[in-house]
A and B are shown apart, each in its own frame.
Chain A
């Protein structure tokens, strides 16, 4: 039993990794713009379709899908930010509703192009098989290992962009004090656009690596997006650590509880815990305290 739970725990890491990639994008956007993008799940879905198209029509394997999805979905994000979100600046609830409209349009658009059928994408052959981890009763798939490494790499890249580059410095300045950032000559609209594109691009990447695990369909992204909203609620904003912790707690708890009881009970328990936690910490666990 302990062995089986440990195995689930390991599997949980790959779930955490995917959730982390999705939530990173959402957290960066929410941190800078205080906007919840209801179409985030559909950006995931489009990322998966990018992988499907590359594999099905061009015969390119999944590795190609990662940069392609980032660029395609990032470009869509740029358009959405430019065409819609900046017009609703300062009205977070309206933005949320308008992006729901975007979500409906994207889903229908994909249905029109690809039809409502489920699609399948294969993981790269090189990642077939798995590695045996002592103490676990199943081999740990190379593909899951790849997901974890990719997530860590993206986490590092995000950290590096935010904390080690001039652009990241501007982003953090906008996050902390938008008017003052403008006073210093920072083009905050450009920052908003690029941040939104980057966050969307990450969702696209997540979609690509989800494609071989899940069946690809127009509605596949929604539940992941909801989980990542919960990550933001639990982890708070303003720090990557909060996002990592939120994703880790939610991803692991859902996986292990799903194994012990079942999927839905796991979700229900995690949700209950989140609601109770924010009763104590309404700003989430890791928000910078400032007045």
Chain B
């Protein structure tokens, strides 16, 4: 049984039809990457899964349970973590408070386990800093750490490397791989940077205008495919 199964969803943003009977399934333990040019609906797909933009038609099953009409906070508690584009750190809360809020989804005590700081050692000295004062790279790490605090089984990441310096990108890459290996978290990633996507993920899905255009093992992401669907 796949961990996440999306069956023919149609999602609208206001009046605009973004996803067109899109189907996709993610197996337990996979790292899958969604590729596609800007505006094809990658972000909307993630938002449909977490429930911020629920689909009008179709169904979403998580762990075999129909979550299509479920409220966002319940999905989060069921084990879906979401790191949105732009990080969305609470700017007036400290890093520690941001992380403690993340614990809610895991139905856990609100003390942040040390293991989080093992994954993200550079957050330790920043714990009391206000979220809004961090750099983009630091915010991204807080966002991932925060999602991790909720003990997700499926982690949705929307362009985690966008606008971030190369050294931090490497750290994020290492952390994602470790999370996947050690915590057995399934990862669904939206990414523009091909090299990063290739290094991190095992499978890829290419979207074009709200539909799945191609789905395969990351090895088969050839230059021809890239030229056809992704290059500028």
29 contacts between A and B (CB under 8 A): A166-B100, A166-B110, A170-B104, A173-B90, A176-B91, A176-B93, A177-B90, A180-B84, A180-B88, A180-B90, A181-B101, A182-B52, A183-B50, A183-B73, A183-B82, A183-B84, A184-B101, A184-B102, A184-B105, A185-B73, A185-B76, A185-B77, A185-B105, A185-B107, A185-B150, A186-B101, A187-B73, A188-B73, A288-B92
Q: What bracket does the count of chain B residues touching chain A fall in?
A: 20 to 34
Smallest CB-CB separation from B81: which chain A residue?
A183
Tell whether, in the assembled complex, residue B90 and residue A176 are in contact, meaning their CB atoms are under 8 Å apart: yes
**Interface hub of A181, A184, A290 (most chain B Cβ within 10 A):** A184
Report the separation of the CA atoms of residues A290 and B91 in the bound assembly, to the nearest whole angstrom. Answer: 10
Given contacts A177-B88, A185-B150, list 19 more A-B pairs with CB under 8 A: A169-B93, A169-B101, A170-B101, A170-B104, A172-B93, A176-B90, A180-B84, A180-B90, A182-B71, A182-B76, A183-B73, A183-B82, A184-B146, A185-B73, A185-B104, A185-B105, A185-B106, A186-B101, A288-B92
B191 at the interface (CB under 8 A from A): no
Chain B residues, CB < 8 A from A188: 73
Number of A residues contacting the other chain (C-beta, 8 Å)? Answer: 19
A124 at the interface (CB under 8 A from B): no
Q: A182-B71, A184-B101, A186-B101 are in contact. Are A172 and B52 (CB under 8 A)?
A: no
Tell whether, in the assembled complex, residue A173 and residue B88 are in contact, meaning their CB atoms are under 8 Å apart: no
Tell whether, in the assembled complex, residue B73 and residue A182 are in contact, meaning their CB atoms are under 8 Å apart: yes
B96-135 Cβ-contact flags toward A at 8 Å (1 or 0)? 0100111011110010000000000000000000000000
Report the separation of the CA atoms of residues A166 and B112 in the bound assembly, to the nearest whole angstrom. Answer: 13
Q: A237 to nearest B CB, angstroms?
A: 13
A187-209 Cβ-contact flags toward B at 8 Å (1 or 0)? 11000000000000000000000
Report the separation of the CA atoms of residues A169 and B110 in the bound assembly, to the nearest whole angstrom. Answer: 11
Chain B residues, CB < 8 A from A116: none
Q: B66 to nearest A CB, angstroms?
A: 19
Tell whether, in the assembled complex, residue B90 and residue A172 are in contact, meaning their CB atoms are under 8 Å apart: yes
Chain B residues, CB < 8 A from A290: 91
Within 8 Å by CB of A184, from B52, B91, B92, B104, lies B104
Chain A residues, CB < 8 A from B91: 176, 290
Report the separation of the CA atoms of residues A290 and B72 in the bound assembly, to the nearest whole angstrom. Answer: 26
| Residues of B78-96 whose CB lies within 8 A of A | 82, 84, 88, 90-93
Tell whether, in the assembled complex, residue B97 and residue A169 are in contact, meaning their CB atoms are under 8 Å apart: yes
Report the separation of the CA atoms of residues A172 and B100 in the bound assembly, to the nearest whole angstrom. Answer: 13
Q: B181 to nearest A CB, angstroms?
A: 25
Q: B58 to nearest A CB, angstroms?
A: 21
Q: A184-B105, A184-B146, A185-B105 are in contact. Are A172 and B110 (CB under 8 A)?
A: no
Chain A residues, CB < 8 A from B90: 172-173, 176-177, 180
Chain B residues, CB < 8 A from A183: 50, 52, 72-73, 76, 82, 84
Chain A residues, CB < 8 A from B93: 169, 172-173, 176
Report the separation of the CA atoms of residues A180 and B105 in the bound assembly, to the nearest whole angstrom. Answer: 12
A282 at the interface (CB under 8 A from B): no
A101 at the interface (CB under 8 A from B): no
In the complex, the number of residue pairs spanning A and B with C-beta atoms less than 8 Å apart equals 61
Contacts from A to B (Cβ < 8 Å): 166, 169-170, 172-173, 176-177, 179-188, 288, 290
Report the separation of the CA atoms of residues A183 and B92 in the bound assembly, to the nearest whole angstrom. Answer: 18
Report the separation of the CA atoms of residues A177 and B143 in the bound assembly, to the nearest whole angstrom. Answer: 14
Tell whether, in the assembled complex, residue A169 and residue B100 are in contact, meaning their CB atoms are under 8 Å apart: yes
Chain A residues, CB < 8 A from B92: 172, 176, 288
Report the separation of the CA atoms of residues A179 and B101 in the bound assembly, to the nearest whole angstrom. Answer: 13
Q: A204 to nearest B CB, angstroms?
A: 29
Smallest CB-CB separation from A238: which chain B residue?
B92
Chain A residues, CB < 8 A from B104: 170, 184-186
Q: A163 to nearest B CB, angstroms?
A: 10
Q: A49 to nearest B CB, angstroms?
A: 37
Smallest CB-CB separation from B72: which chain A residue?
A182
Report the separation of the CA atoms of residues A179 and B107 in the bound assembly, to the nearest whole angstrom. Answer: 19
Q: A27 to nearest B CB, angstroms?
A: 16
Report the separation of the CA atoms of residues A169 and B92 in the bound assembly, to the nearest whole angstrom. Answer: 11
Report the separation of the CA atoms of residues A184 and B82 in the bound assembly, to the nearest whole angstrom. Answer: 8
Report the separation of the CA atoms of residues A172 and B82 in the bound assembly, to the nearest whole angstrom. Answer: 20
Chain B residues, CB < 8 A from A186: 73, 101, 104
Report the separation of the CA atoms of residues A184 and B103 in the bound assembly, to the nearest whole angstrom. Answer: 8
Chain B residues, CB < 8 A from A172: 90, 92-93
Report the separation of the CA atoms of residues A258 and B141 in the bound assembly, to the nearest whole angstrom. Answer: 56
Chain A residues, CB < 8 A from B73: 182-188
